[in-house]
């Protein structure tokens, strides 16, 4: 499924809502950021130019409508693919091709962009007299800071969650089949080992039923692997910023992941984000992983998954937390922005309580709740369901740290590559992980081992 098909499907939910609660044209009180922007413009009409990820346009449109209404200023924008937008921002910076004042990269790549001197810190951009930006109602912002300075404003609560088909689970317990096979009734798994057993139980392709739709596309493998590693009580990084891929737990986690692949739908090997959502919604599959954007797709009126899912945090096992914030989108200001101060005010305006609520409401976009006020909004509850929001909010409040250090993209690309080779059978698990560890050491040396060690220590201090 491409992005257009996703928008067509999710538009069904938007169409089902009363226009009065959907519209972003409803008047809202003038926000301090808007007043500051008008004062900064001083009677002129500067036009911001922005770079946004594909698929977010309905979320952004809700923001733009309010910005233009409150400030009288226009905004133009262009889009870039989800997978390429961070690279585009860095490349434009290096080649002097930056033409936008605000960008919206994936949060996990902000440290890379700062390391490449592509972003401006926010401290110098805030006008005097404007109250500090954001407060405790924002549930997760760790990825917006690099070396103690803020470079972004989070606008999408992308915590990784588990999804299970309720009808399949209820049937397994009603018949007693799962208990007969394993000696206990089926329940929401709290370990990856139990999740793997459940996927194996439900997997019966001859009957058109599959155990799972977990990503096996090479670009998404590391997230599951790191969750499995956490489940075994192991950390991704050890002393001196040494990767922990040589431990027994690391090898076992990959071996488990390889075995579980046999119980997944075969299309998971090539499905990207939108294709995965379409596959799970339209096929009898027990388990999946995803985000709030996934839930928006699954919850559209007429979907066989609407009201038919069990939502949960990822299995934690022996780990410290099962909540994993692994994506997200954050407003940033490029180093070469011509309207940096105005762009900063726009970014703050976009993530304000009232405006961000309008953005998250949009069923056709994938921005998810990240602010306490979002969970009390009746339209957002209709879009996601109260059951999902309860799990999502708990996960956001308990999210563990990601690898927010320079080199993130190289680290994760390397790990994804060698995990894929192991899953394909090209390399034995322990060999693949040692090769990944060797590349991680080289990446660390390029960035600076002592700096990385200090950054990781600082991150652990806030975890």
Residue 54 lies in a domain: yes
**pLDDT tens column, 268-317:** 999 999 999 999 999 999 999 999 999 999 999 999 999 999 999 999 98
Model pLDDT for residues 347-405, shown as the tens digit of each residue:
999 999 999 999 999 999 999 999 999 999 999 999 999 999 999 999 999 887 789 99
pLDDT of residue 20: 36
pLDDT value of residue 459 = 82
| pLDDT for residue 461 | 64
| 53 SS3 class | strand
Same domain, 32 and 108: yes
Domain identity same for 180 and 120: no
The model's confidence at residue 85, banded by pLDDT at 50, 70 and 90, is very high
Looking at the structure, tell me whether residues 65 and 107 fall in a common domain: yes
Kindly tell me the sign of the dihedral angle through the C-alpha atoms of 266, 272, 275, 279: positive
| pLDDT of 27 | 58
DSSP percent split of the chain into helix, strand, coil, nearest 5: 55, 15, 35
Supply the pLDDT for residue 6.
44
Do 303 and 188 lie in one domain? The reply is yes
Percent of the chain with pLDDT over 70: 93
- 442 versus 323: the higher-pLDDT residue is 442
Q: Are residues 127 and 210 in the same domain?
A: no
CATH code for the domain of 120: 3.40.190.10
Whether residues 35 and 115 fall in one domain: yes
Strands 153-154 and 149-150, by their bridges, are unpaired
Q: Mean pLDDT throughout 327-355? A: 97
Give the global pTM: 0.92
Quote the CA–CA distance of 179 and 318 in Å, as a whole number.
Answer: 24
Confidence of residue 458 (pLDDT cuts 50, 70, 90): confident
Model pLDDT, residue 336: 98
CA separation for the pair 196, 253 (Å, rounded): 12
State residue 18's pLDDT score.
Answer: 46
CA-wise closest residue to 115 among 460, 423, 451: 451
Which long-range contacts does 457-461 make (Cβ < 8 Å, 24+ apart)?
A: 458/148, 459/142, 459/401, 459/404, 459/405, 460/401
Report the C-alpha gap between 230 and 379 in whole angstroms: 35
Nearest to 126 by CA among 343, 332, 344, 339: 344
Does any domain span residue 9? no
Q: Is residue 433 part of a domain?
A: no
At 462, is the pLDDT very low, low, confident or very high (cuts 50, 70, 90)?
low
Among 296, 325, 354, identify where a domain stops.
Answer: 325
Residue count of the chain, please give it: 463
- Exposure letters 372-396 (e unless 16+ CB within 10 A, then b): bbbbebebbebbbbeebbebbbebb
Do 233 and 336 share a structural domain?
A: no
**Which of 298, 325, 352 is a domain's end point?**
325
Whether residue 245 contacts residue 433, with contact meaning beta carbons closer than 8 Å, is answered with: yes
Tell me the residue range of the domain where 262 lies. 159-325
Alpha-carbon span 143 to 329, nearest angstrom: 10
Q: What is the pLDDT of residues 421-432, one digit of tens each?
A: 999 999 999 999
The DSSP result for 253-279, as a single string, is HHHHHHHHGGGB-GGGGT--HHHHHHH
What digits encode the pLDDT tens for the residues 255-270?
A: 999 999 999 999 999 9
Is 160 strand, coil or helix? strand
Q: Is residue 290 located within the same domain as residue 221?
A: yes
Domain count, the chain: 2
Round the average pLDDT of the chain to a whole number and report it.
92
- Whether residue 275 is contained in a domain is answered as yes
Measured distance CA(444)–CA(290) in Å, rounded:
29
Q: Tell me: pLDDT of 44 over 90.
A: yes
């Amino acid at each position: 499924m491409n992005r257009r098909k996703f928008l067509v499907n999710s538009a069904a939910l938007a169409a089902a809502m009363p226009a009065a609660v959907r519209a972003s044209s409803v008047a809202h009180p003038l926000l301090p950021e808007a007043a500051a922007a008008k004062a900064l413009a001083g009677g002129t009409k500067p036009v911001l130019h922005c770079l946004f990820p594909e698929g977010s346009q309905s979320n952004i449109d809700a923001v733009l409508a309010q910005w233009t209404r409150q400030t009288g200023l226009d905004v133009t924008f262009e889009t870039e693919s989800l997978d390429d937008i961070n690279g585009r921002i860095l490349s434009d910076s290096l080649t002097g091709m930056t033409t936008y004042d605000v960008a919206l990269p994936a949060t996990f790549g902000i440290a890379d962009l700062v390391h490449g001197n592509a972003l401006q810190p926010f401290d110098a951009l805030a006008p005097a007299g404007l109250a500090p930006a954001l407060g405790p109602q924002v549930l997760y912002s760790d990825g917006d800071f690099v070396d103690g300075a803020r470079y972004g404003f989070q606008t999408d609560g992308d915590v990784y969650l588990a999804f299970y088909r309720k009808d399949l689970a209820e049937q397994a317990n009603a018949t007693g089949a799962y208990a007969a096979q394993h000696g206990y009734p089926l329940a929401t798994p709290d370990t990856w080992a139990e999740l793997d057993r459940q996927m194996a139980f439900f997997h019966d392709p001859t009957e058109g039923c599959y155990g799972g739709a977990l990503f096996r596309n090479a670009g998404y493998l590391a997230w599951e692997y790191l969750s499995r590693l956490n489940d075994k009580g192991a950390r991704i990084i050890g002393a001196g910023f040494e990767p922990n891929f040589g431990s027994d737990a690391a090898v076992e986690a990959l071996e488990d992941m390889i075995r579980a692949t046999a119980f997944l739908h075969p299309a998971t090997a090539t499905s990207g984000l939108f294709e995965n959502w379409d596959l799970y919604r339209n096929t009898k599959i027990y388990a999946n992983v995803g985000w709030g954007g996934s839930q928006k797709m699954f919850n559209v009126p007429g979907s066989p998954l609407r009201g038919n899912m069990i939502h949960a945090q990822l299995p934690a096992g022996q780990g410290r937390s099962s909540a994993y914030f692994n994506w997200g989108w954050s407003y940033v200001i490029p180093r070469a922005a011509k309207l940096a101060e105005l762009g900063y005010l726009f970014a703050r305006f976009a993530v304000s309580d009232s405006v961000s609520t309008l953005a998250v409401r949009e069923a056709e976009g994938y921005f998810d709740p990240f602010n306490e006020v979002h969970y009390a909004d009746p339209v957002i509850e209709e879009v996601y369901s109260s059951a999902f929001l309860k799990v999502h909010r708990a996960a956001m409040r308990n999210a563990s740290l990601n690898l927010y250090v320079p080199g993130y993209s190289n680290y994760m690309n390397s790990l994804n590559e060698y995990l894929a080779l192991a899953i394909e059978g090209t390399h034995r698990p322990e060999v693949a992980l040692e090769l990944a560890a060797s590349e991680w050491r080289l990446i660390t040396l390029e960035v600076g081992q002592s700096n990385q060690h200090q950054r990781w220590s600082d991150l652990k201090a806030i975890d």
